[in-house]
């Protein structure tokens, strides 16, 4: 077993399973995707620390536990089409690609999207479709989605994403309320949405029509 593979196994056991991630499909996916492929070369020695890491453009690759928690909350079984808002490094998209049939991932930063495309192609990931644009508006042409994961903090669930969520689907999004960020799951039941709070979190702001303005 390579050094990276051994550290990935330790991450799954010590950072994820030990901290309440129980979905075996999620644990297996996290154990398979090489996080080091999605961080800058100078930071690869820190690929499996339990924290976010900078990837350029004032963006970060999320802490492994956060990625796993989001994926677990989406409750994927395999055949779903998933929308991801905020491609970032592409790491979460690679994990989602092992959990769902199709992943549509939208990133507003063209350079980050290009970098993610290279990383995903290098791993042979074929079921992730990358788009550049305002992720807070989703992708109405491909909707509805069984699940939506947002990797940026919003003032509430973006209306366009709620509209594009399939009945029975789940939207996981960091929500800023009274100065605090909480990772929240919204579960659609027809016209009704139920809400469950997962944990405190810290993300960059969701910039766009359904998020925050460019200058706050």
Catalytic residues, by residue number, are 62
Q: Return d(Cα 204, Cα 145) in angstroms, integer.
A: 24
Q: Return d(Cα 139, Cα 147) in angstroms, integer.
A: 13
C-alpha distances out from residue 50 to 21, 72, 88, 112, Å:
14, 18, 18, 22
Cα four-point dihedral sign 8, 32, 12, 15? positive
Q: Is 149 helix (H, G, I), strand (E, B) or coil?
A: strand
What are the start-end ranges of the H helices in 45-197?
Answer: 64-74, 91-99, 110-122, 159-163
Q: Return d(Cα 188, Cα 168) in angstroms, integer.
A: 5
What are the start-end ranges of the H helices in the chain?
Answer: 3-10, 24-32, 64-74, 91-99, 110-122, 159-163
């Amino acid at each position: 077993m390579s050094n990276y593979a051994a550290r990935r196994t330790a991450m799954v056991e010590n950072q994820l399973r030990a901290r309440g991630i129980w979905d075996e499909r999620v644990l297996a996916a996290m154990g398979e995707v090489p996080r080091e492929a999605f961080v800058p070369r100078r930071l690869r020695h820190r690929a499996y620390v339990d924290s976010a890491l900078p990837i350029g453009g004032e963006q970060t690759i999320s802490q492994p536990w956060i990625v796993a928690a989001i994926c677990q909350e989406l409750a994927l079984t395999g055949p779903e089409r998933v929308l991801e808002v905020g491609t970032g490094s592409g790491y979460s998209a690679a994990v989602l690609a092992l959990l769902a049939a199709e992943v549509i991932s939208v990133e507003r930063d063209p350079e980050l999207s290009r970098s993610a495309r290279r990383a995903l192609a290098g791993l042979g990931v074929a079921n992730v479709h990358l788009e550049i644009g305002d992720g807070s508006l989703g992708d109405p042409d491909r909707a509805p989605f069984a699940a939506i994961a947002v990797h940026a903090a919003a003032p509430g669930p973006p209306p366009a994403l709620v509209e594009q969520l399939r009945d029975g689907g789940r939207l996981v999004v960091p929500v800023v309320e009274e100065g605090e960020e909480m990772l929240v799951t919204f579960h659609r039941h027809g016209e009704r949405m139920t809400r469950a709070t997962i944990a405190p979190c810290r993300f960059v702001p969701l910039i766009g029509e359904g998020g925050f303005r460019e200058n706050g």
